[in-house]
């Protein structure tokens, strides 16, 4: 099912988001005319892509949102939010997994703009007494090293031993993280090469929260979510949000539990919906008009090589194909796969949220750059 609207003024968007917190069903979106020269394929073509993916078993349900260069918005859904769940819609909530990392990168850029931290600050400066960050050849790990995955820290700490493998982060404690860091020996020089690290970005989120003397969720809510009117995004779920939460499914289509990620919140704990994520993406397009939007440009700006044809900013990844830039991140938990990306030159954006353990990144990439083919799972 497809719906259309235009970008609302920010004040109106905030009121709309507030309304979503008070009712299980969002108020109807204003019916508006189609973009005069659509950047993306037609509604029917996009709906067919989603329906075919669901029918082939590539997803249980998909919610997709697009922003055209003229600011108009289109949303689509296909499939199910899960057995016994309300109808899938643009207000259905999903675990967005590692897309959370770009919120942590934005928080870092925002705090740096306020001079509360500096990108080159050593992480050690903000940790409690008695906790020792690993070093190598006299070089300390800096905040920017965590945000660009160049710290030398591993993907996950070696002392994770979850009591419940279906919820693997739930019982990992800050004390366990501190113990691991104090004992860890870096395998390479700091900054030498990229290695994707949930530990590193989780640590970054923790350090920023320690600097502000609040939780990571409170910091992101105050500094980012509330300013953008993203009332349906967070870690903790209100009763109303729980009613809108999709059920996650593993690649075999079996329902799996939601994840609790207390220590590594900044690396993957957020839940959100297409409506809120489009607000976030829209703030990255066009000329920045607020301090937050300027910080978002800093976070998205490519800084260092990351992978073939890719560079990384403060957690945002830039992929260049045929001279076209796509700035993106994806996410995954046990039962969800997600994608968020935008083309800063065209002024377009795409969000793809699924409640399945099978990814749909190719849909987002293809819609933003048709030179990148659809690659359905086999």
DSSP string covering 20-53: HHH-SSPPPPPP-PPPSS-SSPPHHHHHHHHHHH
pLDDT at site 3: 73
Helix ranges (DSSP H) in 57-142: 100-113
CATH number of 2-96+217-368: 3.40.710.10
Q: Where are the domains of the chain?
A: 2-96+217-368, 102-214
Q: Strands (DSSP E) along 172-297, which ranges?
A: 248-249, 255-256, 271-272
Q: Does domain 102-214 have CATH number 3.40.50.2020?
A: no
Q: What is the mean pLDDT of each run of 10 residues along the chain (378 residues)?
A: 56 30 33 56 97 94 97 97 91 98 98 98 97 97 98 98 97 98 98 97 98 98 98 97 97 96 98 98 97 98 95 98 96 98 98 96 97 91
- With b for 16 or more beta-carbon neighbours within 10 A and e for fewer, the 97-122 pattern comes to bbbbbbbbbbbbbbbbeeeebebebb
pLDDT at site 285: 98
Helix ranges (DSSP H) in 56-132: 100-113
d(CA 221, CA 242): 18
| Sign of the C-alpha dihedral computed for residues 357, 362, 363 and 364 taken in this order | positive
d(CA 301, CA 313): 5
pLDDT at site 16: 27
Phi/psi for 367 (5° steps) reads -70, -35
Is residue 42 classed exposed, middle or buried when 0-12, 13-18 and 19+ CB atoms within 10 A define those classes?
A: exposed
pLDDT at site 9: 38
- Smallest Cα–Cα separation from 92: which of 276, 295, 236? 276
- Smallest Cα–Cα separation from 256: which of 181, 165, 182, 346? 165
d(CA 90, CA 237): 17
- How far out from the chain centre does Cα 228 lie? 15
Q: Record the tokens describing residue 247, joined without a space.
A: 């059920």
Whether 2-96+217-368 and 102-214 share one fold: the answer is yes
pLDDT at site 84: 87
d(CA 265, CA 203): 9
pLDDT at site 11: 34
């Amino acid at each position: 099912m497809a719906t259309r609207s235009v970008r609302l003024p920010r004040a109106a968007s905030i009121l709309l988001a507030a309304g979503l917190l008070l009712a299980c069903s969002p108020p109807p979106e204003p019916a508006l005319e189609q973009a005069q020269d659509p950047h993306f394929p037609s509604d029917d073509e996009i709906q067919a892509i989603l329906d075919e993916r669901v029918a082939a078993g590539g997803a249980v349900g998909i919610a997709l949102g697009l922003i055209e260069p003229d600011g108009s918005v289109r949303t689509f859904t296909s499939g199910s939010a899960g057995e016994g769940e309300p109808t899938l819609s643009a207000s259905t909530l999903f675990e967005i997994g590692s897309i959370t990392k770009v919120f942590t990168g934005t928080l870092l850029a925002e705090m740096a703009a306020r001079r509360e931290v500096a990108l080159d600050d050593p992480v050690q400066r903000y940790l409690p007494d008695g906790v020792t960050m690993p070093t190598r050849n006299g070089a300390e790990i800096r905040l920017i090293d965590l945000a660009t995955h160049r710290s030398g820290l591993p993907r996950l700490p070696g002392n994770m031993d979850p009591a419940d493998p279906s919820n693997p982060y739930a019982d990992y404690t800050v004390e366990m993280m501190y113990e691991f860091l104090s004992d860890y020996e870096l395998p390479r020089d700091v900054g030498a090469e990229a290695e994707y690290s949930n530990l590193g970005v989780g640590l970054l989120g923790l350090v920023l929260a320690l600097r502000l003397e609040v939780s990571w969720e409170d910091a992101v809510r105050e500094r980012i979510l509330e300013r953008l009117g993203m009332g349906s995004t967070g870690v903790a779920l209100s009763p109303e949000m729980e009613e809108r939460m999709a059920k996650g499914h593993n690649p075999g289509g079996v329902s799996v539990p939601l994840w609790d990620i207390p220590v590594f919140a900044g690396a993957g704990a957020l839940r959100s919906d297409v409506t809120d994520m489009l607000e976030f993406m829209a703030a990255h397009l066009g000329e920045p008009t607020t301090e937050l939007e300027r910080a978002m440009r800093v976070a998205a700006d490519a800084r260092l090589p990351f992978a073939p044809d890719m560079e990384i900013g403060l957690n945002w990844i830039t992929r260049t194909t045929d001279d076209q830039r796509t700035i993106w991140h994806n996410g995954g938990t046990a039962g969800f796969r997600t994608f968020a990306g935008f083309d800063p030159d065209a002024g377009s954006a795409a969000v793809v949220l699924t409640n399945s353990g099978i990814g749909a990144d190719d849909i987002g990439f293809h819609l933003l750059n048709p030179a990148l083919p659809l690659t359905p799972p086999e």
